[in-house]
Amino acid sequence: MKRRDFSKQLVIAGGSVALSKYIPDSTESIINTNILPEALKPGDTVGIIAPASSFPPERIPKTEANMTALGLKVKWSKNLHAQNGYLAGKDKQRLKDIHKMFKDPEVKAIWCIRGGYGCLRLLPDLDYELIKENPKVLIGYSDVTALLNAIHQQTGLVCFHGPVGSSTFSDYTLSNVRRMLFEPLDQQTISLSSEQHKEVEPGFETYSIRNGKATGRLVGGNLSLLAAMTGTQHQIEVKNRLLFIEDVGEKPYRIDRMLTQLRQALPLEEAAGILLGVFADCQPGEKDRSLSLREALKDRLLDLKIPVAYGFSFGHITDQCTFPIGIEARMDTKRQLVEILEPVVKV
């Protein structure tokens, strides 16, 4: 295996050598001034893109029905149905669709039809200046985590971690989307879904790993993507942030591994607090010699000595809240809520 030159990170003292956490050169380009997209209104046109994996045909009518429920018109991207193995077309096709939707004055918001895999491949070639000059709502989750965080860090545009276009839009999901994208409120509160309390499936419980309140800018998304971004020029900034994390279909040892990667690459102890969503289907098998999900999370996060709570209403679940990335918020582990402390869209 070819070794990289880590000489810039070596600190030699007292005859011993310590390896500092890797910090990409481009962290200096992280933008700390937010750009708010315009609030949506009924009748606006939303552009639908597939920036990651391809999708089955039944997602088209479902996505159109979801947009209609919000009073929005739909504009499909040119390469929406392209395929390249497990990707929704070549990288250049998916990039072209993103850039075209940002540039199109008719399009007021850009909604990802699904996640899957592929967004990470696009980050080096995104036209961040074009996006910055044409700010508008961008929303999705799962693999879209890569787009949301990279675009916010490079441009300051507030992006939205919320349902993809073909998600099942429950009343809770719809209500959260409307409040975030359509109503330019100064402050708002995100509470747990009432339906979540009725769930009996493992992983839907709520509990605190370390109680407390914390305030900071929201950042985060899918754990697998956050881990994959570490060590690159697009790794997230966590200092003084409220970090929100979720994942799906990962055994506890894999959750452990990814959290360990984040701990060793990022100063997680300097985060303001950590919000854990619902980690659906992340329990060990009956015959696995394993920590439980709860034990693994506690083992990796308790000693950070910052507020950490599990079970907020986001993740690969039906009832999803919408988080505005880059916006100042306050978490309260005992009350199990997140307060958004400033406007997330503008009139």
Q: Which of 53, 54, 77, 142 is catalytic?
A: 142
Residue 224 annotated in active site: no
Element at 174 (helix H, strand E): helix 171-181
Q: Which of 152, 161, 234, 316 is catalytic?
A: 316
Q: Which of 77, 246, 250, 313 is catalytic?
A: 246
C-beta atoms surrounding 159 within 10 Å? 27
Q: Which two tokens stand for residue 65?
A: 């029905």
Q: For the CA atoms of 49, 55, 56, 62, what is the dihedral angle to 10 degrees? A: -40
| Rg, the chain, Cα only | 20
Residue 316 annotated in active site: yes
Strand order in the sheet with 308-315: 188-191, 337-340, 328-332, 213-222, 241-246, 273-278, 308-315, 207-210
The DSSP code sequence of 13-77 is: ETTEEEEPPP--GGGGG---S-BPPBPP-TT-EEEEE--SS---TTHHHHHHHHHHHTT-EEEE-
Q: Which two tokens stand for residue 129?
A: 């200046």
Residue 142 annotated in active site: yes
- How far is it, in rounded angstroms, from Cα 152 to Cα 140? 14
| Angle of CA points 329, 333, 337, to nearest 5° | 50
Q: Supply the residues annotated as catalytic.
A: 142, 246, 316
